[in-house]
Structure 1
Amino acid sequence: MILRANGPLDYRIMYDFMAVQDDCLYTTVDQKVRKAESFDGRRVLFELSESAEPDSVNVEILYNEGVEEKVVAAYVTDWFDLDYDLNRFYKFAGGNARLREVTQRLHGFRMLAYVDIVDVLVWSIIGQQINMKFAFALKRRLVEHFNHSVEYEGEQYRLMPSAEELLTLSVKEMREMQISTRKAEYIRNCAQGIIDGELSKEYLQSFEHYDAAKAHLTKVKGIGPWSANVVLMRTIKFRHAIPVGDAGLRNAFKITDQLDDKPDRAYMEKIMSEWGAFGTYATLYTWRILG
């Protein structure tokens, strides 16, 4: 099946970005992306590739335990943020000196979302204050511990464990994976929150206002402003959510503004306050300035 984006989509730019992420929950080979998912206990493996039609992606289901095609289509639409009107952002970016060049260079790049609330909460905790290479390694150890996968053509395609399964992991076991004691406790705390409902995706999506959703998240032990904004950006999709204080943004602003030192928080907040409803995409493209 072919899924069309609302506005520009450059599959090759998306593929190149995904190929360097080292995320254990999908594979990238020969311009094709393969990902396994489980829907109500039924597993499916699908493959994404470049479509002959413009601004589209081709989706082929390779293995299926009874998942409807429309469910896979909805997942991919969410994952690649295909419903977002990217032209509206580009119109804004065209008048912004910091964003103009990078949006022209990466025209058709869309947000790679976290569809699974377990995945995004684990990532928002593991990724705190460490480099991405190590964060991806920790995530892989956690995922591989449970050994859930779809096997196809001799390859294994990993599945994220459930919140219930994460609670079976002790802090000691996570320490053996090199996850810090504090982060291990936070992961268990968030897993319990998902089970109890206060951190379920459905509940977080019920918030009409960003400030209320952020306040709710930051009340949870282990979720600070940075982690809350990762969740609100990449899963709940409040379009003006920005991880204020992010080290990558500071480094990017140093480049775009030709600063001798990294900017302080007040400097960053002034810039980001101008982004408004385009904050999420402005953030994503600003990160790409770093490569």
Structure 2
Amino acid sequence: MQHELHAHSNLSITNQIQDHGQDMLISVPKEFSFTENYSHLSTATNESLYTLRDGMIYKAIAVDQEAAIVEISNYDEHHMLIRFVDEHQSISSAVRIGVAQYVYDWFDLGTDLAPFYKMAAQDPLLEQAVVSFYGLRNMGIPDLYEAICWGILGQQINLGFAYTLKRRLVEHFGQALTYEGETYWLFPTAETIASLTVDELSAAGMTTVKKCEYLIDTAKLIVDGTLSKEQLLQVTDVKQAEKLLVKIRGIGPWTAHYVLMRCLRMPSAFPIDDVGLHNSIKHVLKMDAKPTKAHILELSAGWTLWESYATFYLWRFLY
């Protein structure tokens, strides 16, 4: 049985950070480029959960019941800088560590990409991608409910409209933090969405009743403890994890693998039916038509335990 590697889930990062109170330095691996990751983030033209300005990333991050706005920037080739922007806000050590943990997970800093690059350099489909986007990480979605929502919202619509739906959801039901005239949003909690009716969610501009039902039902599973990130992290096999997720109404194989890839960080997560993946392969190989599933399986035969990263790098050609 093929087992997944959760090298960085629940990993203590105290030895990866230098905590100076208002500022924190977080170590980055050799195979990391802040510029490449910033460039990737900049492709989201209607993003509601972070702001890019002058080469810096601004984001509100919640830790338990507290939240802070941070500025994330490149410090040197070995570190990123996390700065808490509100100098008058008293932030506990636990919250600072929690923020650093979030950033560490968001940028997937715990994954050693050297084996991936070695494999990809010999792969006809990936060799160009790893040169073009060297240092790019699989920018994740650390919160399980947010990842599932993004998967559900993105079903059977184009990416631009998916961002519009997410913005509607965030601005109707998320928490807003303001600083110096700028607003920074936190994604709605499962508790908030679980308390809504389908009509209330529809009124916020969600397009279908079914999607509203899926968002509320999943929120209730998380609130009552039936579904949790910790529970899924105990599963070591991607097929088993997929089975657990597709039992949930509104989650099919594509959404399941998207969540396993972007939140649970399962290396073998592989949304093989993804239209973007098909278009990327068509683009790289200069094909007249999209590849068949059988052809994709053939092309990906050498990607074992790197299917997730291979997909992410191929997506980058398009987004």
Q: Which residue type is aligned with residue 150 of structure 2? A: W
Instruction: Tell me, in whole angstroms, the C-alpha distance in 1 between the residues paired with 2:179 and 2:68.
Output: 11
Instruction: Tell me, in whole angstroms, the C-alpha distance in 2 between the residues paired with 1:290 and 1:87.
Output: 24
- Aligned ranges for residues 89-168 of structure 1 at < 5 Å? 89-168=116-195
Give the TM-score, by structure 2 length: 0.87
Per-residue Cα deviation, 1:157-182 (whole angstroms, up to 9, x for no partner): 00111111102222223323033111
Correspondent of 2:260 among 223, 227, 232: 232
**SS of residue paired to 2:271:** coil
8 Å contact from structure 2 (residues 63, 99) kept in 1: no
Per-residue Cα deviation, 1:82-135 (whole angstroms, up to 9, x for no partner): 111111211111111111111111111111110111210110100111111111
Per-residue Cα deviation, 1:50-99 (whole angstroms, up to 9, x for no partner): 11x21432111123453422221111100000111111211111111111
Correspondent of 1:26 among 50, 58, 79: 50
Query: Per-residue deviation at 1:256?
Result: 2.3
Correspondent of 1:245 among 273, 280, 303: 273
Q: Confirm whether residue 181 of structure 1 aligns to residue 201 of structure 2.
A: no
**Which deviates the most, 179-188 or 64-73?**
64-73
Q: How large is the Cα RMSD of the aligned pairs?
A: 1.5
8 Å contact from structure 2 (residues 141, 262) kept in 1: yes
8 Å contact from structure 1 (residues 44, 67) kept in 2: no
Instruction: Tell me, in whole angstroms, the C-alpha distance in 1 between the residues paired with 2:119 and 2:90.
Output: 44
8 Å contact from structure 1 (residues 113, 235) kept in 2: yes
- Aligned ranges for residues 256-275 of structure 1 at < 5 Å? 256-275=284-303
Q: Confirm whether residue 284 of structure 1 aligns to residue 312 of structure 2.
A: yes
Query: Per-residue deviation at 1:3?
Result: 1.6
Q: 1:67 to 1:206 in 2, by over 3 A?
A: farther
**SS of residue paired to 2:125:** helix
8 Å contact from structure 2 (residues 125, 299) kept in 1: no
Instruction: Tell me, in whole angstroms, the C-alpha distance in 2 between the residues paired with 1:103 and 1:55.
Output: 20
Q: Confirm whether residue 172 of structure 1 aligns to residue 196 of structure 2.
A: no
Instruction: Tell me, in whole angstroms, the C-alpha distance in 1 between the residues paired with 2:82 and 2:229.
Output: 25
Correspondent of 2:63 among 39, 46, 63: 39
8 Å contact from structure 1 (residues 167, 188) kept in 2: yes
Q: Which residue type is aligned with residue 165 of structure 2? A: L
Q: Which residue type is aligned with residue 122 of structure 2? A: G
Mark the runs of 5 or more structure 1 residues left unpaired by the alignment: none
Instruction: Tell me, in whole angstroms, the C-alpha distance in 1 between the residues paired with 2:256 and 2:214.
Output: 13
Instruction: Tell me, in whole angstroms, the C-alpha distance in 1 between the residues paired with 2:234 and 2:142.
Output: 16
8 Å contact from structure 2 (residues 174, 187) kept in 1: no
Query: Per-residue deviation at 1:139?
Result: 0.7
Correspondent of 1:17 among 21, 27, 40: 40
- Give the structure 1 partner of residue 227 of structure 2: 199
Q: Which residue type is aligned with residue 191 of structure 1? A: A
Instruction: Tell me, in whole angstroms, the C-alpha distance in 1 between the residues paired with 2:188 and 2:222.
Output: 13
Q: Which residue type is aligned with residue 161 of structure 2? A: F
Instruction: Tell me, in whole angstroms, the C-alpha distance in 1 between the residues paired with 2:116 and 2:295.
Output: 23
**SS of residue paired to 1:97:** coil
**Which deviates the most, 212-221 or 147-156?**
147-156
- Give the structure 2 partner of residue 66 of structure 1: 91
8 Å contact from structure 2 (residues 194, 223) kept in 1: no
Percent identical residues: 36
Q: Which residue type is aligned with residue 44 of structure 1? A: A
Query: Per-residue deviation at 1:6?
Result: 2.6
- Aligned residue pairs, count: 290
- Give the structure 1 partner of residue 80 of structure 2: 57
